[in-house]
Amino acid sequence: MTRAACLMVQGTASGVGKSLLTAALCRIFARAGHRVAPFKAQNMSLNAAVTVDGGEIGRAQAVQAAAAGVEPTVDMNPILLKPEADDRSQIVVHGRARGRASWRDYTRLAPTLWATIVESLERLRRTHDLVLIEGAGSPVEINLSVDLANMRIAALANAPVVLVGDIERGGVFAALVGTLSLLAPDDRARVAGLVINRVRGDASILRPGIDLIASQTGVPVLGAVPHLGAAALPEEDSLDLLADGRDVGDARIVIAVPRLPHIANFDDLEPLVAEPGVAVRFVTRAEAIDDADVVVLPGSKTTLADLAWLRERGLDAAILRAAHDGRRLVIGLCGGYQMLGERLEDSEHVESSITSAAGLGLLPIVTTFEREKATRRVHGTVLSGGPLAAAAGAPVAGYEIHCGRTSVNGGTPVFALGEGGDATTRTDGTAVGAVLGTYVHGCFASGPLRRALLGAAALRKRVDPDPRWGADTLADRYDRVADRVGAALDLDALARLMRCPLGAAAS
């Protein structure tokens, strides 16, 4: 049986753009007619997605699968670590939560997970033409004794490695050469090319440095990829979150998102980041919420602890002002939805040591945390109530990942939902006036929903809506990213490394 060729994208550090470049390559080679699958053996992220069978995987692999035009599966990210504290993570294996562990405990457990990784990669290689593998962090974390995500995977797949450095961080040439110098000889020999990412302006000024590192290391530079701007594709790494004080310029609508300590699935906001005239700010100060037109309370891995953090910083009072002054919208997503309610109960200490806490009291709901996690894909339509009324009847699709069971005692439901191939069978969410909450991650991917939300905010602000709002789709963005990345890379050299001809279909 023929097994798929493999190529691995590694980086000099976290957040250098591995996920985006892997997604772009998925699109490029899928457009060339190849059956492409992404793969990341071990991922650490609070941005998760849900597969058809209800399994959790890293959001980046779901995006990469969509770019490749294939359905995401748990084999594409067999090990997912979801941080719950500085020294503890939930461990998800083949899409299912298997408990929690400190880092020291995980280093003892990790060797037993190798067989799971091997099985997943083998299944992907049997059913695809090409597997594009993403590494994690840096391949030269020399203080760590366990590597389930970088050079050991490259050796397993016999995959050539492309090493990516981010010029925005500064010192990109030193980062690339330093990484190569710390690799063991066998691992260094696997590095077949270097890529400089996030170049602004004229890339030709890099030529002397490119020529020098190529001559000194013997590894060719396969391209200098331009900076693709905000929200080119959904990002995974929390290093990409924006901070207080970001210049909003002449933005028509400003959206404030509390930067919770355990923020989860913040990629929900990226369709809004990509909208023209919309500024999304991740904030930690109450005055930043006072200056916004829309407040979005995002998801959280530890909802009760993050709710306490909101109160410590006075953000709760700012959110209440936003909800009551009639000029702004307040939206809660998943954990943020729970926070907007009347109470949160955790008698079994599923999320934290806190047993019970009052919510912000903006929605008539009560949430009780349970050990069994809900992970499911959903689809349906927007209902007619609340700030999304202009999108009534429009389709919406997404996924749920939460441990809380929420009882609703009033308000107006937001969505009519179904699961799998079923018709709509239940409602989700609650809206009261200018406040609404929902469990549906990914709902902002709906163009009509974004147009309705931003239009409602513009009406309250008494500014004209932008006619372009809601027009962009993820499919459009995959193609634009693939075009720009493809134009910057030596695709013929990459195709030769993988023995996967590009052909006319990639143009």
User: How does pLDDT run across 396-435, given as a tens digit for each residue?
Assistant: 999 999 988 999 999 999 999 998 767 778 999 999 999 9
Task: Tell me what the pLDDT averaged over the chain comes to.
Answer: 92
In this model, does residue 269 exceed pLDDT 80?
A: yes
* Tens-digit pLDDT profile for residues 173-205: 999 999 999 999 999 999 999 999 999 999 999
Active site residue 34: no
CATH node for 242-461: 3.40.50.880
What is the Cα–Cα distance from 2 to 345, expressed in whole angstroms? Answer: 53
Residue 238 has what pLDDT? 45
Average of per-residue pLDDT across 383-391: 90
With a pLDDT cut of 90, the percent of the chain lying above it is: 80
Task: Mean pLDDT check: name the lowest of 98-107, 275-284, 455-464, 497-506.
Answer: 497-506
pLDDT band at 1 (very low <50, low <70, confident <90, very high): low
Residue 60 has what pLDDT? 94
What is the Cα–Cα distance from 81 to 63, expressed in whole angstroms? Answer: 18
Out of 3.50.50.60, 3.40.50.300, 3.20.20.70, 3.40.50.970, the CATH code matching 5-231 is 3.40.50.300
Residue 104 has what pLDDT? 87
Measured in residues, the chain has a length of 507
In this model, does residue 248 exceed pLDDT 90?
A: no
- All CATH 3.40.50.880 domain ranges in the chain, comma separated: 242-461
Residue 385 has what pLDDT? 74
Instruction: Give me the catalytic one of 26, 441, 443, 500.
Output: 441
Active site residue 403: no
- All CATH 3.40.50.300 domain ranges in the chain, comma separated: 5-231
User: 507 burial class (0-12, 13-18, 19+ CB within 10 angstroms)?
Assistant: exposed
In this model, does residue 244 exceed pLDDT 50?
A: no
Type of residue numbered 152: R
Strands (E), 103-220: 130-134, 161-166, 191-199
* Tens-digit pLDDT profile for residues 109-122: 999 999 999 999 99
Cβ neighbours of residue 138 under 8 Å, at least 6 residues apart?
10, 11, 12, 13, 14, 150, 179
Residue 507 has what pLDDT? 34
Residue 243 has what pLDDT? 44
In this model, does residue 246 exceed pLDDT 50?
A: no
Average of per-residue pLDDT across 14-29: 96
Average of per-residue pLDDT across 354-380: 94
Residue 476 has what pLDDT? 86
Type of residue numbered 400: E
In this model, does residue 288 exceed pLDDT 90?
A: yes
Q: How many CB atoms lie within 10 A of CB 191?
A: 23
Cβ neighbours of residue 421 under 8 Å, at least 6 residues apart?
none
Question: Residue 154's closest CA among 179, 128, 142, 136?
Answer: 136
Task: Mean pLDDT check: name the lowest of 74-78, 243-247, 263-267, 446-450.
Answer: 243-247
Cβ neighbours of residue 273 under 8 Å, at least 6 residues apart?
230, 231, 280
- Three-state DSSP class for residue 46: coil
Cα dihedral 430, 335, 453, 256, rounded to 10, equals: 140
Average of per-residue pLDDT across 75-88: 90
Type of residue numbered 488: A
Cβ neighbours of residue 28 under 8 Å, at least 6 residues apart?
482, 485, 486, 491, 502, 506
In this model, does residue 443 exceed pLDDT 50?
A: yes
Residue 156 has what pLDDT? 97
* Tens-digit pLDDT profile for residues 220-239: 999 999 998 766 676 665 44
Tokens of 45: 């992220």
Instruction: Give me the catalytic one of 334, 403, 443, 500.
Output: 334
Torsion region of 339: left, alpha or beta (phi above 0 gives left; psi -120 to 50 gives alpha): alpha
* Tens-digit pLDDT profile for residues 131-140: 999 999 999 9
